């Protein structure tokens, strides 16, 4: 089994806010991240697929194909967007790094499953160089 990872970057803004809480509770729990004007990050996305290399091409999946899938399914929707206001899955879901990783998985998994026998293995989102969340499909 080979694990192949492709990396991409995108810039987006967001804020943390729970509609069921008061403004005071949101400020207490989320601090400066509760500012409804939002703040931005330059995110790094890593997508790992797993599979056996094709005996003819040597590829688990074609890297150009994987780049195109990431662009179409994630980057076009997230790059230079306010996640809370412009991305449907975050209309009611707080766009934490953890929730972004899960949402990216849900966007990519149907497109990747079964292509050349590969499967989506891991999604990792870096919010900063020091903070990342990793999702492996509920494993």
Quick: pLDDT tens for 37-95: 999 999 999 999 999 999 999 999 999 999 999 999 999 999 999 999 999 999 999 99
> Which positions are annotated as active-site residues?
33, 80, 127
Domain 2-135 in CATH 1.10.10.10? The answer is: no
Q: Where are the domains of the chain?
A: 2-135
Nearest to 109 by CA among 98, 125, 99, 122: 122
Positions of E strands within the chain: 2-14, 39-51, 81-82, 119-128, 131-135
Q: Give the span between the Cα atoms of 50 and 37, in whole angstroms.
A: 39
How many angstroms separate the most distant Cα atoms in the chain?
A: 61
Kindly report the number of other CB atoms within 10 A of residue 47's CB atom: 25
Strands of the sheet with 119-128, listed across from one edge:
81-82, 2-14, 39-51, 119-128, 131-135
User: The whole model's pTM is what?
Assistant: 0.94
């Amino acid at each position: 089994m080979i694990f192949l990872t492709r990396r991409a970057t995108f810039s987006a803004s967001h804020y943390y806010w729970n509609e069921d809480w008061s403004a005071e509770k949101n400020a207490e729990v989320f601090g400066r991240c509760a500012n409804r004007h939002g703040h931005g990050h330059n995110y790094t996305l890593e997508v790992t697929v797993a599979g056996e290399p094709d005996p003819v091409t040597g590829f688990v999946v074609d890297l150009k194909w994987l780049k195109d899938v990431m662009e179409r399914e994630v980057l076009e929707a997230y790059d230079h967007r306010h996640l809370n206001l412009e991305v449907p899955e975050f209309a009611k879901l707080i766009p934490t790094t953890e929730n972004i990783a899960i949402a990216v998985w849900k966007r990519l998994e149907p497109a990747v499953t079964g292509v050349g026998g590969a499967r989506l293995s891991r999604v990792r989102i870096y919010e900063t160089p020091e903070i990342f969340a990793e999702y492996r499909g509920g494993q």
